[in-house]
Each structure stands twice: as C-alpha cells, then as structure tokens.
Amino acid sequence: MSNGIEQAREALEEVEHEMHGISQEVHKEMHSHGTRNAAVLIAALAASLALSEMGEKASQNQYLTHHITLTDTWAFYQVRNVRATIMSAAADTIESLPSATPEAAGRVAQLRKDAALQLDDPEYGEGRKQLAERAKHETELRDHSFHMYHQFELATSALQIAIVLASASIAMKMKPLTMIAAAIGGVAALYALGVATDII
C-alpha cells in the first residue's frame, strides 16, 4: 500500500529473522515482554497506517472528482452566459429593424424569455444563477477534500516515523525508543481518526 506498510513488514521480518538466527539464550531474550510489545506495536502501527493511507487516497479521489465537477459547472455557466448574450443581441437586432411585424414582436418576446431562462432557471436549476451557486458548493467540497488529504498525509508520515522508531528499538534493544514510537503512533492515529470524523 505504501513504503510505510513495506517498512512495517520488513521490521517484522527482521524480528523473525533475528529470533531464528541467534543463540538459545538470546532467543529467550528476544521473546521478552519488551520485544513482544514492540512487535505488537509495529503491527498496530502498520494497521493504523493502512487505514490512514486509505483515508488519504479517498480524500485525493474526492478532491479530483469535485475539481472536475467544478470545472464542468463553470464551463456550463459560460455557455449559459454566451447563449443569453446571443439571444439578447438577436432580440435587439430584430427590434431595430424598421419593418417590424407582429411575428417579429413575438419572436423578440420569446428570445427575451429564453435569454432570461439562461440567466435564472429556478424550475430546472440550470440557469447561470443556479450554476454559480452549485459551483460555489463544489468549491467548498473540493477545498475540504484537499484539506483532509493533507491532514491524512501528516498522519501517515508520523505513523511511518513511528514504525521506523519501533523497528529501531527492537534492533538496538532500547525500550525508550519503543515508548517514543508508541507516543508518536498514538497521537498520529488519533489525529487520523479526527480527520476522518471531521473533527480536525
């Protein structure tokens, strides 16, 4: 799923390799409470990392979807604007003709009505006014997805760092590193949960 997952897998494999490749006495030491805790911590961090990366990817996809929809909406907005301008210009042109007939007057009225619908169409929601409101809403959704993507990115990076520290704590047999890794990983996991639930 990412380099972080691969790092966690490699760390667990390293623990297993060391446990098989050392003497019986050290083998017992490797099965000590601290080492087991570090291995469980790495597994928990890897699971948290996988979930965080899923959230990150989902936010990125939502951002792209909203961005495309927003672009399409503004394009449609411009089309409506151009149509309204053309219809208004056609109505003005027909009105300016010296030999205006009743049919021409009816045509002018229809053109003005159609031009007004291009600008404001509350019944179908396809007028320029409605499209502008829709585009504003899509902009908010897009920006929110972009914000979530970056927050998940921060949580993912912190979880990757925690996995590296937990792996190093096993290799170097340093319990303080395990505690630091657990603290960083715990904060990062809670942060990712906060982003997923829209608290952050």
Read off the DSSP letter of residue 129: H
Mean pLDDT of 37-41: 86
pTM: 0.72
Report the number of secondary-structure helices (H) and strands (E) in the chain. Answer: 6, 0
Number of compact structural domains in the chain: 1
Domain membership of residue 53 as a residue range: 3-196
Nearest alpha carbon to residue 47 among 178, 198, 159, 197 = 159
Tens-digit pLDDT profile for residues 64-122:
999 999 999 999 999 999 999 999 999 988 888 887 677 888 888 999 999 999 999 98
* Rounded to 5°, angle at Cα 163 from 162 and 166: 85
Confidence of residue 18 (pLDDT cuts 50, 70, 90): low
| Residue at 193: amino acid letter | L
Cα separation of 105 and 110, whole Å? 9
Question: Quick count: other Cβ atoms within 10 Å of Cβ 142?
Answer: 20
